[in-house]
């Protein structure tokens, strides 16, 4: 169901450290299935300094920078659109009060994580790293589908939610570092599939700044191995590929006279009009204006 139920929230998440929790309809929404609770805070949520713990796994997606986060007395500086895990009974919270903070907290019962870990790795003794990873499009899509099923409750939603719960747990186990070794037949995604995943991410996020650190983190590969493997697969460095992608997007928009060159440069993720113009001419032999006139 969708609402705020402090008793249900406390079952998986313990006491939620928000000082306006009793005005909860303005500060958060909670979605419940049998084994997963998803809590979404809004900009009205004020997180209180301090720590708490709970007997369940928590996975957090940050929708804004999260400075001064604490896990087991260690400070972490979490960036926007990152994903990180908190293990059962790990003490965690904030070192300072934080006003107007939005995040997605996915609380999963031990039994579900253990069940999926056993199926993937023949072991249920799983402990996650507290490092942060890129919150990928796939994870966001699965979470969104899960929330929509609980919100609209169309026919068969119970069956879909149950299966989405397992998919979400499995995806989190695959994406976040942990202590379990892979089984011989359970190897990571092939290099070709990983590179495709990165390219899909580029296509979805080319309008914003994308770094090699971010892209390599998406597939849990060190930056230099990632650059080398990406070039081996595409014959281009990630930077070159992203630049060519932006130019191709710009060509399509230039076919219409609806937008100015400056608007197109911004829409395609270039830092300035001059950078767009010089890059476009270097890649095509024509300036954007000349290219538009040639069509």
Q: Write down the pLDDT at residue 256.
A: 86
Report which of residues 294 and 24 the model is more confident about: 294
DSSP string, 6-64: HHHHHHHH-S--BTTGGGHHHHEEEEE-SSEEEEEE-TT-EEPSEEE--SSEEEEEESS
Q: Write down the pLDDT at residue 18.
A: 52
| Token output for 170 | 């499995």
| Token output for 295 | 């069509």
CATH superfamily of 188-295: Homeodomain-like (1.10.10.60)
Task: Kindly report, residue by residue over 85-106, the tens digit of the pLDDT.
Answer: 999 999 999 998 887 778 899 9
Task: State mean pLDDT over 257-261.
Answer: 91
Q: Write down the pLDDT at residue 137.
A: 83
Q: Write down the pLDDT at residue 5.
A: 45
**Which CATH number is 2-175 given?**
2.60.120.10
Q: Write down the pLDDT at residue 1.
A: 40
Confidence of residue 183 (pLDDT cuts 50, 70, 90): low
- Please tell me the distance from the alpha carbon of residue 245 to that of residue 206, in angstroms, as a whole number: 8
Q: Write down the pLDDT at residue 19.
A: 53
- Taking 90 as the threshold, does the pLDDT of residue 8 lie above it? no
265-289 core/surface letters (b: 16 or more CB in 10 A; e: else) = bbbbbbeebeebbebbeebeeeebe
Task: Kindly report, residue by residue over 192-242, the tens digit of the pLDDT.
Answer: 888 999 999 999 999 888 899 999 998 888 899 899 999 988 999 999 999
In sequence order, the 6+-apart residues with CB closer than 8 A to the CB of 117 are 123, 124, 125, 126, 173, 180
CA atoms within 13 A on the CB side of 238: 26
Sheet hosting strand 2-3, strand order edge to edge = 2-3, 28-32, 36-41, 103-108, 57-62, 82-86, 132-134
Per the prediction, the chain carries an average pLDDT of: 85
Q: Write down the pLDDT at residue 182.
A: 67
Quick check: 70 and 17 in contact, CB under 8 A?
no
- Please tell me the distance from the alpha carbon of residue 146 to that of residue 2, in angstroms, as a whole number: 11
Q: Write down the pLDDT at residue 46.
A: 78
Task: Kindly report, residue by residue over 19-66, the tens digit of the pLDDT.
Answer: 544 444 455 788 888 899 998 887 767 778 888 888 999 999 998 888
3-state secondary structure of 161: helix
Domain ranges of the chain: 2-175, 188-295
Q: Write down the pLDDT at residue 189.
A: 53
- Please tell me the distance from the alpha carbon of residue 39 to that of residue 146, in angstroms, as a whole number: 12
- Taking 90 as the threshold, does the pLDDT of residue 184 lie above it? no
Task: State mean pLDDT over 146-173.
Answer: 92
- Please tell me the distance from the alpha carbon of residue 57 to that of residue 221, in angstroms, as a whole number: 25
3-state secondary structure of 86: strand
- Please tell me the distance from the alpha carbon of residue 139 to that of residue 160, in angstroms, as a whole number: 16
Q: Write down the pLDDT at residue 58.
A: 96
Q: Write down the pLDDT at residue 134.
A: 87
| Token output for 35 | 């084994």
pLDDT cut 70: percent of the chain above it: 87
Q: Write down the pLDDT at residue 238.
A: 95
- Please tell me the distance from the alpha carbon of residue 82 to that of residue 136, in angstroms, as a whole number: 8
Task: State mean pLDDT over 180-199.
Answer: 72
pTM of the model: 0.61
Cα dihedral 60, 63, 68, 74, rounded to 10, equals 20
Confidence of residue 126 (pLDDT cuts 50, 70, 90): very high
Q: Write down the pLDDT at residue 181.
A: 81
3-class secondary structure for 102-136? CEEEEEECHHHHHHHHHHHHCCCCCCECCCEEECC
| Token output for 185 | 């037949």
């Amino acid at each position: 169901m969708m609402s705020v139920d402090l008793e249900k929230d406390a079952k998986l998440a313990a006491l939620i450290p928000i000082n306006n929790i009793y005005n909860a309809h303005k500060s958060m929404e909670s979605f419940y299935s049998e084994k997963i609770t998803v809590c979404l805070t809004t900009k009205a949520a004020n997180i209180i300094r301090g720590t708490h713990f709970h007997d369940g796994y928590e996975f957090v997606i940050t929708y804004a920078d999260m400075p001064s986060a604490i896990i087991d007395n260690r400070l972490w500086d979490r960036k926007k659109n990152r994903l990180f895990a908190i293990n059962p009974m790990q003490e965690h919270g904030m070192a300072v009060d934080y006003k107007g903070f939005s995040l997605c907290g996915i609380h999963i019962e031990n039994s579900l994580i253990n069940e999926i870990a056993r199926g993937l790795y023949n072991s249920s003794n799983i402990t996650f790293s507290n490092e942060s990873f890129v919150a990928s499009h796939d994870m966001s899509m699965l979470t969104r589908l899960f929330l929509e099923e609980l919100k609209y409750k169309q026919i068969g939603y119970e069956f879909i939610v149950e299966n989405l719960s397992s998919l979400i747990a499995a995806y989190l186990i695959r994406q976040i570092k942990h202590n379990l070794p892979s089984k011989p037949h359970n190897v990571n995604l092939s290099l070709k599939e990983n590179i495709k995943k990165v390219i899909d991410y580029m296509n979805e996020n080319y309008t914003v700044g994308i770094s090699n650190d971010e892209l390599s983190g998406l597939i849990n590969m060190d930056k230099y191995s990632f650059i080398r493997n990406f070039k081996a697969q595409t014959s281009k460095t990630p930077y070159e590929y992203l630049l060519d992608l932006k130019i191709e997007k710009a060509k399509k928009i230039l076919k219409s006279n609806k937008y100015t060159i400056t608007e197109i440069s911004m829409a395609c993720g270039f830092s300035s009009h001059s950078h767009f113009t010089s890059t476009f001419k270097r890649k095509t032999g024509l300036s954007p204006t000349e290219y538009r006139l040639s069509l």
